[in-house]
Amino acid sequence: MADTPGGTGLAVEEQFFSKVAPGEFVFRENEPGAEMYIIQDGEVEIVKQLHGELRQVAVLEEGDFFGEMAILEDMPRTAAARALTSATLLRIDRTTFNQLIRHNPEISVRMLRKLCHRLRTTNPVLLEVGIQPEEAVAAPEPVASALSPAASAPAAPADAATPAAGAEPELPTAPRLIHGETGTEFRLWPDGETIIGRFDPVTGVQPEVDLKPVDFHRSTSRRHAVIQAREGGFSLREEVGCANGTFVNGQRLATGVEVEIHDGDALQFGLVKTLFRVSS
C-alpha cells in the first residue's frame, strides 16, 4: 500500500502505479480515455499537435494531475502526455475518483479553477477577436523567482504615479514576508489582497507570492492563504482546500476565518516559516 503525493490520505495498491521512461507517451491526443493520473515523481509534459508538429503546452511535476477530462466528460484526450524524465504515475479510474475527492478537497478546488480558466478562453471568444483557437495554446508563464526584495515584489499598478525626472521616488515601507531559513523577502500589496501559494502549471495561475522557491517539502497549497491589507491593519485568511495548515505565532487558523496580524508575527504556511514585517 502507498499514499498519494502531498499526503492526500488515500491509500492505494501498488498495481495502480505505473512507471514511464523519458520520451514515453502516457497517452496520445484523440485517444479514448477512462483514467486520470497523479505524478508521484518525475516530470510530464502536455503536448498538442499544432500546424503539423507537437508543441509543449505545460510541464507538470510531482503532485500535479492530468487527464481528468476523460473522467469528467467521458471524451477523447484533447492533448497528449509524454514523460520528460523517468516518472511514476498513480492511475485513477472512475471508481476511485470520488474517494480521492473526499480525501483531498484541494484536488476538487484545483479542478474547478482549471475549468473556469478554460471557460475564459473558450473558442468562440477567441474567434470574436480574430484569433484562431490553436494560436491561443501556449505554455504557462514562467515561475517568478524570489531573488531579492525588489525582484519578488508585486508589479506596480498600471496607474501608479511616475516620479518626476531626477526626483527620488517616495516608497512607503512595504509589508513583506521574510523566510527565516534563507532570508528571502516577499513583498505584499500595501492595499488589497495578496494571494500566498505556489504556481499551478495545470491552470497557469500564479499567486502574488509564490513560495515554491523556499517550499523545499512541497507543503504549501496552490492557493494557500490571503493577506488582506486595509486601512489601519492587516489580516490573514486560510483558503478553502488548503491541505497543510496556516499558523500565526504557532496557532493554527480555521479555514476561511480572518485573523489580524501585526508587525513581527510569525506566519507559517504548511512547513514554510516566515516573519511578517511592516516596519523597516
Q: Is 58 a domain residue?
A: yes
Q: Are residues 10 and 128 in the same domain?
A: yes
In contact, 59 and 43? CB cutoff 8 Å: yes
Q: Write down which residue in 118, 136, 154 finishes a domain.
A: 136
Supply 264's cell numbers: 513581527
Q: What domain count does the chain have? A: 2
Least Cα distance to 207 among 180, 183, 185, 226 occurs for 226
Q: Is 49 a domain residue?
A: yes
In contact, 106 and 241? CB cutoff 8 Å: yes
198 in helix, strand or coil? coil
Range of the domain at 45: 2-136
- Residue 58: CATH number of its domain: 2.60.120.10
Q: Are residues 187 and 69 in the same domain?
A: no
pLDDT tens-digit map of 54-100: 888 888 888 778 888 777 777 788 889 999 999 999 888 877 877 77
Whole-number pLDDT of residue 173: 59
pLDDT less than 70: residues of the chain: 1-15, 106-107, 110, 114-173, 201-204, 280
CA angle 35, 41, 46 (to 5 degrees): 55
Side-by-side strand order, sheet with 246-248: 185-187, 176-179, 272-277, 266-269, 246-248, 251-252
Q: Is 150 a domain residue?
A: no
Q: Write down which residue in 107, 136, 165 finishes a domain.
A: 136
Q: Are residues 189 and 253 in the same domain?
A: yes
Whole-number pLDDT of residue 109: 72
- Residue 182: CATH number of its domain: 2.60.200.20
Instruction: Give the pTM.
Output: 0.48
Whole-number pLDDT of residue 78: 85
Q: Are residues 15 and 111 in the same domain?
A: yes
Q: Are residues 181 and 92 in the same domain?
A: no
Q: Is 212 a domain residue?
A: yes
